[in-house]
Amino acid sequence: MSARLPPAARRLLAARATISVGQGAMGVDFALYARALHWSPGFLGATVGAGILFGGGLTALAGPLSDRFGRKPFLCAYLAAVVAAAGFAAVSARAAVVAGAAIVAGFGRGAVGVPGAFGAVQQAWLADQVEGQALSRSLARNAAVGFFATAAGTFLGGLPQVWRQALPGALAYRPLFGLVAVTTLMSLVLLLRLAEPRRPAHAAAPARDAREQAAENRLLLRLAGINALNGVGIGLTGPLLSWWLAARFGAGPGQIGPAIGLVLLASGLATLLAGRLGTRFGLVRVVVAMRSVGLGLQVALPFAPGFGWAMAAYAGRTVLNRGTVGQRQALVMGAVRGHRRGLAASVSGVSTQLPRAVGPWLAGLLFGAGWFAAPFLLASVFQAAYLLLYRRVFAAVDRR
C-alpha cells in the first residue's frame, strides 16, 4: 500500500500503525473498565473531556513549534509520556491514577487510533515528505493504516472476556494498559531511528508573503469555526459508545470489541476508496455526499431495537464519516504553504478537540439522567450544520 512512498514516509506510517493497536483496544475497553470500577457516567465523561482538552492544548503548542524546531522532538517526548502513563495505570486502579493516565494518554476518546498531539504533528511530518496529488493519496493511506491497526486493537479489546475467570471484574482490563505501553514504546523506537532533515528557512517577498499569509489565516479561521461544530458532535457520541451499548443492550467486551474492529476495517477500505473518488469527482463533493448519508444513520442509531441493529447503524455511519478523514486532511494541508503545515494541522486538531471535550461531559450527564437518545440527536444537529458550512468554505480550495 505504501510501496511508492519515500522511506521516511513509510516509517511514519509504521509508527502510526504501531501506536494505534494499543489505542484501539483502549478505545473499546476504557469506558467498560470505568464502569467495572463503578465510576459514574458524569465522572467518566469529565475525565475523557479533560483528556481531550489536554490533548488539544498540546496540539496547539506542538504544531506551530514543530514548524520551527522540527517534528521529531515533540512526537518522541509525548510518546515517552504516554508509555509512563500507561505503565502507572497497569499497576494501580486508584481513580486519581487511572484518570490522570487517561488525561495524559488520551484513553477513552473512542477508537481514534492516536492520542493527544501525535496526530497533528505526525500528519505535518508526513506532508513534508510529499507534494501535489501525492499529498492526498499519502494522507488517505495514513488514515487507512490507522484504521486497520486500530481495528486490530479493538479485536484485542475482547480479550478481557477470555481471561475473566483468572482475572475477575475490573482486573480483566488491567493487562490492556500494558499493551498500550508496549505498542507506544515500539512506535517511539521507530521514530527515534528516523532522521529528520534540517528545516529550510522560509524566504518570500514581504508583500507577497503577507498577502498569502492573510489568505491562509482567513481560511484557517473559518476551518476552526466549522470544526468546532463537528467536534461537539463527535464528543457527544464516540467516547461513551461502549458504555451506551453495555447499558442499553447488556453487551460486553467480547461483543463490542470485534464489532467495532470490523467497522474500522471497513473504514480503512472506505478511506482508500474515497481517495480515488476524490481525485475523480472532487474532495469536497465526496466528503459531503458520504457524510450526509452517515448523518441519516446517526439519527436512526439510538432507536435501534437490538445490539445487531445498533451496530449496523453505527457501522454505516462510521464507515462513511471516517472514510473521508484523509480527504479532509489533504484539503487542509494543501491549503497552506509547506512551512505552515504544522500550524494548519494544529488549528484543525485543536478546533475539533477543544469543543469535543464538552461532548463526553454532556453525554455523561444525559446518560445518567436516562436520556439515551439525546446525545445522538443533539450530535446530528451539530454535524448537519458542519456539513452545510464545510461545502461553502472549502469548495474554492478544492477547485484550486
* Structural domain boundaries, residue 16: 7-194+210-399
Dihedral angle sign, alpha carbons of residues 278, 279, 281, 285: positive
Q: In the prediction, which pLDDT does 380 show?
A: 93
Q: Among candidates 69, 201, 140, 110, which has minimal Cα distance to 326?
A: 140
Task: Tell me how far apart the alpha carbons of residues 374 and 385 are, in angstroms, rounded to a whole number.
Answer: 17
Give the per-residue SS3 of 68-113: HHCCHHHHHHHHHHHHHHHHHHHHCCCHHHHHHHHHHHCCCCCCCC
Cα of first residue to Cα of last residue in the chain, in angstroms, is 27
Which of the four pLDDT bands, split at 50, 70 and 90, describes residue 182? very high
d(CA 128, CA 367): 43
Rounded to whole angstroms, the Cα distance separating 235 from 363 reads 8
The answer to whether the beta carbons of residues 266 and 315 sit under 8 Å apart is yes
Whether 201 is covered by a domain: the verdict is no
Residue 202 lies in a domain: no
CA dihedral (380, 382, 384, 389) in degrees, to 10, reads -170
Mean pLDDT of 99-109: 87
Residue 345 has pLDDT above 90, yes or no: no
- In angstroms, the Cα distances linking 217 to 222, 320, 358 are 9, 29, 26
- CATH number of 40's domain: 1.20.1250.20
Among the listed residues 384, 388, 367, the one whose alpha carbon sits nearest the alpha carbon of residue 298: 384
Grid cell locating 306? 437490538
d(Cα 180, Cα 33) in Å, to the nearest integer? 15
Asked if residue 120 is part of any domain, the answer here is: yes
pLDDT tens per residue across span 135-145:
767 777 888 88
- Alpha-carbon distance of 300 to 318, in angstroms, equals 13
Instruction: Write out the DSSP string of 306-317.
Output: SHHHHHHHHHHH
Number of domains the chain contains: 1
Residue 1 inside a domain? The answer is no
Q: Mutual orientation of helices 358-368 and 41-69 as an angle, nearest 10°?
A: 170
For residue 399, pLDDT beyond 60:
no
Q: How confident is the model at residue 1 (pLDDT cuts 50, 70, 90)?
A: very low
Q: What angle do CA 182, 52, 298 make, to 5 degrees?
A: 100
- Comparing 81-85, 266-270, 312-316, the range with the smallest average pLDDT is 266-270
pLDDT, tens digit (0-9, with 9 covering 90-100), for 269-289: 877 777 677 667 777 788 888
Angstrom distances, CA of residue 84 to CA of 46, 89, 194: 22, 9, 22
Tell the burial category of 6 from Cβ atoms under 10 Å away from its Cβ (0-12, 13-18, 19+): middle
CA distance 26 to 32: 10
d(C-alpha 107, C-alpha 353), whole Å: 14
- Over residues 183-236, the pLDDT tens digits come to 999 999 999 988 876 655 555 556 567 777 788 788 888 888 888 888 888 888
Report pLDDT digits (tens) over 4-52: 677 888 888 899 999 889 888 888 888 889 989 999 888 988 888 888 8
Span of 112-121, 146-155, 161-170 with lowest mean pLDDT? 112-121
- Looking at every residue in the chain, the average pLDDT score rounds to 82
- Contact criterion met (CB below 8 Å) for 375 and 241: no
